[in-house]
């Protein structure tokens, strides 16, 4: 292909690039996992029959579990050295209060050890941190008695000398990892007292893989010219790409002025109730770009000097056959009340693949699709996307630009409707003075160039092209008689250059774009 199709992306590369960089960085933690730890893990896996629990490995090595997970992941990336299955298990843990009791004893036990033989005023006990809960538990266990009539206020006496602190003993068992010695009922009771909680832990069950080895060779991440020249690449192992890496969203970025203006145009169409057409095919067959639009095969636009032809694949082969036949007929013999062009229409010419020269090719596809509906419904469509022309490059022309196109189909639309809608559309852009000049397009009749008065330049400038699609285009598609379609098109670059005061299109699009221009161009407001 002669063109660089992504030329326009250059200015916004700054917003794409950080994603690329960050996805590389994302891979890094795995590449850089502590090699010592990886080797230790491999030696442990080698020795064990069966498998290893990554949590146990972490505990016995005294490292964070995440570090083991990192080692597992970097080994997984090497192929089938180990197999690591993610499992989860529930286990019991002491809560904060549970830990305190395991250390200092239960509240009720601490009450007993605080009360001397001669007893203690109740008010004094209540002042202690464990006093309240401890008092009521010890009372219900009948470990203490309360003498309410005691002179000097209610007084508490012990009724037992020593006791077994069962709650503490149970908690200590859990702390030692021997929770299985307790009955389910006991554990649930401690859970109710908020001394124990049941937690789910995720871990890897690690076993030897089919390529298990304790020595690992680092995988190559890059194929170098030297490897190719020496043939050493044949022996090397390459790290597979991680297509899953998410990348980090860039903190900020700048939209290219063309994209800002595009947003505004899109907004205007949406406000007017238009639906966007799918324009995601830069390559189009001559059939949809020209023939379906009743553009004769000898038309100069279909020449190498005006259009980019594809060499591979040079031809398109899939067309709706009956429609293709009707197109052939209307060109060569006429029909639908038209004389046609009376020439020998050739399928070979229609099959030629090109870079679309206008988005009207997309409109043609959409109108054909509309005609295939069982019942016709009125539509309002728009598109804003790139088109390509083999132009001589100068200050205002490039070999590619964006077209903005609007299409309205309904019964009985007139030239007056077209003028009305153009007024409405351009009004929303802040352009109020419009003039129309008769023009010629192979696919529209009548056709009008649209001019607006430019207050700055103090003259009328062309802002668009428009017309009513010919019956020779619409009727072969199968649209009902009486349905008319009005349409107009303009470029995105021209209003953008006017809006941002750019005189040379190469300062707006292409490799010479100054990124500072992209940063400095403010948000676009077309109506002001
Ligand atoms: N396709 C025309 C162009 O390339 C624009 C246009 C669209 C004209 C729709 C009439 C109707 O300039």
Pocket test for ligand 1, best of 284, 306, 358 (most atoms within 8 A of CB): 358
Say if residue 112's pLDDT is above 50. Answer: yes
Among the ranges given (13-27, 68-82, 132-146), the one the predictor scored with the smallest mean pLDDT: 13-27
Report the distance separating Cα 295 and Cα 284, nearest Å: 15
DSSP symbol at 214:
S
Atom 8 of ligand 1, residue of closest alpha carbon: 466
Assign 477 to helix, strand or coil: helix
Say if residue 7's pLDDT is above 70. Answer: no
Say whether both 393 and 478 belong to one domain.
Answer: yes
User: What's the pLDDT score for residue 528?
Assistant: 60
pLDDT bracket for residue 446 (50, 70, 90): very high
pLDDT per residue over 162-218, tens digit each?
Answer: 788 888 999 999 888 888 888 989 989 899 989 999 888 899 999 999 989 888 777
* 329 belongs to a structural domain: no
Say whether both 450 and 476 belong to one domain.
Answer: yes
CA 258-261-262 angle, 5° bins? 80
pLDDT per residue over 261-279, tens digit each?
Answer: 999 999 999 999 999 999 9
Say if residue 13's pLDDT is above 70. Answer: no
pLDDT bracket for residue 475 (50, 70, 90): very high
Say whether both 159 and 63 belong to one domain.
Answer: no
- Per the structure, the count of domains in the chain is 3
Q: In CATH, what number is assigned to the domain containing residue 416?
A: 3.30.930.10
Specify whether the CB–CB gap between 101 and 167 falls below 8 A. Answer: yes
The pLDDT mean for the chain works out to 88
Say whether both 190 and 213 belong to one domain.
Answer: no
Say if residue 24's pLDDT is above 70. Answer: no
Say whether both 393 and 484 belong to one domain.
Answer: yes
Say whether both 194 and 149 belong to one domain.
Answer: yes
Atom 10 of ligand 1, residue of closest alpha carbon: 466
pLDDT bracket for residue 250 (50, 70, 90): confident
**Does 401 contact ligand 1 (Cβ within 6 A)?**
no
User: What's the pLDDT score for residue 10?
Assistant: 32
Report the distance separating Cα 297 and Cα 294, nearest Å: 9
Q: In CATH, what number is assigned to the domain containing residue 224?
A: 3.30.1370.240
**Does 466 contact ligand 1 (Cβ within 6 A)?**
yes
Say whether both 74 and 208 belong to one domain.
Answer: yes
Mean pLDDT of 89-116: 89
**Does 441 contact ligand 1 (Cβ within 6 A)?**
yes
* pTM value surpassing 0.85: no
Q: Where are the alpha helices (DSSP H) in 32-127?
A: 35-47, 54-61, 65-76, 96-104, 107-114, 122-126
- Cα–Cα separations (whole angstroms), residue 395 to 127, 502, 512, 514, 528: 90, 10, 13, 16, 26
Which residues 6+ apart lie within 8 Å of 257 measured at CB? 496, 499, 500, 502, 508, 517, 518, 521, 524
Q: Where are the alpha helices (DSSP H) in 225-371?
A: 225-230, 257-271, 286-289, 321-332, 347-351, 360-371
**Does 358 contact ligand 1 (Cβ within 6 A)?**
yes
Mean pLDDT of 76-81: 85
Say whether both 424 and 503 belong to one domain.
Answer: yes
- 344 CA to centre of ligand 1 in angstroms: 26
In this structure, the number of other CB atoms found within 10 A of the CB of residue 91 comes to 13
Please name the residue that has the structure tokens 């192979």: 442
Residue range of the domain that includes 104: 96-198
Report the distance separating Cα 493 and Cα 509, nearest Å: 9
- Cα–Cα separations (whole angstroms), residue 118 to 105, 138, 139, 157, 160: 23, 17, 18, 7, 13
Say whether both 464 and 481 belong to one domain.
Answer: yes
């Amino acid at each position: 292909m002669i063109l660089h199709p992504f030329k326009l992306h250059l200015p916004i590369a700054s917003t794409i690039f950080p994603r690329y960089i960050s996805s590389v960085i994302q891979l890094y933690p795995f590449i850089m996992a502590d090699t010592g730890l990886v080797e230790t893990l491999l030696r442990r896996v080698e020795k064990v029959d069966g498998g290893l629990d990554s949590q146990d490995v972490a505990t016995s090595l005294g490292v964070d579990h995440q570090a083991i997970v990192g080692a597992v992941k970097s080994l997984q990336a090497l192929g089938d050295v180990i197999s690591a299955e993610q499992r989860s298990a529930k286990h019991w843990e002491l809560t904060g209060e549970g830990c305190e009791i395991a250390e200092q004893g239960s509240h009720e036990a601490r009450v007993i050890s605080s009360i001397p033989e001669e007893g203690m005023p109740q008010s004094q006990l209540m002042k202690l941190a464990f006093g309240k809960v401890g008092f009521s538990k010890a009372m219900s266990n009948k470990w203490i008695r309360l003498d309410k009539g005691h002179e000097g206020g209610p007084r508490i006496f012990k009724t037992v000398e020593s006791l077994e602190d069962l709650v503490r003993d149970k908690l200590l068992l859990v702390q030692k990892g021997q929770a299985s010695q307790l009955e389910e009922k006991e554990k649930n009771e401690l859970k109710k007292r908020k001394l124990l909680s049941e937690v789910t832990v995720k871990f890897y069950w690690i076993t030897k893989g089919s390529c298990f080895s304790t020595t690992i060779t680092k995988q190559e991440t890059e194929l170098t010219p030297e490897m190719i020249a020496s043939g050493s690449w044949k022996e090397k192992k390459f790290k597979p790409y991680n297509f899953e890496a998410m990348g980090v969203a860039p903190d900020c970025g700048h939209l290219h002025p063309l994209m800002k203006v595009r947003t505004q145009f899109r907004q205007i169409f949406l406000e007017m109730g238009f639906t966007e057409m799918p324009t995601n095919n830069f390559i189009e067959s001559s059939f949809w770009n020209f023939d379906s639009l009743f553009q004769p095969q000898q038309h100069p636009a279909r020449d190498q000097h005006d259009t980019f032809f594809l060499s591979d694949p040079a031809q398109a082969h899939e067309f709706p056959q009956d429609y293709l036949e009707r197109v052939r007929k209307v060109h060569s013999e006429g029909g639908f009340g038209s004389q046609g062009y009376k020439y020998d229409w050739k399928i070979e010419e229609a099959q030629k693949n090109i870079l679309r020269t206008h988005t009207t090719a997309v409109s043609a596809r959409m109108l054909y699709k509309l005609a295939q509906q069982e019942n016709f419904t009125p539509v309002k469509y728009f598109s804003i996307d790139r088109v390509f022309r083999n132009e001589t490059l100068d200050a205002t022309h490039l070999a590619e630009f964006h077209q903005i196109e609007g299409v309205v189909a309904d019964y009985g639309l007139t030239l007056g409707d077209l003028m009305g809608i153009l007024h409405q559309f351009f009004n929303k852009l802040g352009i109020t003075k419009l003039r129309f000049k008769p023009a010629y397009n192979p696919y529209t009749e009548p056709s009008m160039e649209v001019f607006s008065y430019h207050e700055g330049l103090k003259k009328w400038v062309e802002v668009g092209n428009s017309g009513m699609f010919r019956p020779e285009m619409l009727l072969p598609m199968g649209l009902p008689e009486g349905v008319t379609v009005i349409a107009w098109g303009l470029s995105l670059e021209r209003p953008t250059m006017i809006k941002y005061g750019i005189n040379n299109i190469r300062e707006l699009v292409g490799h010479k774009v100054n990124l500072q221009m992209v940063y400095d161009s403010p948000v676009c407001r077309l109506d002001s």
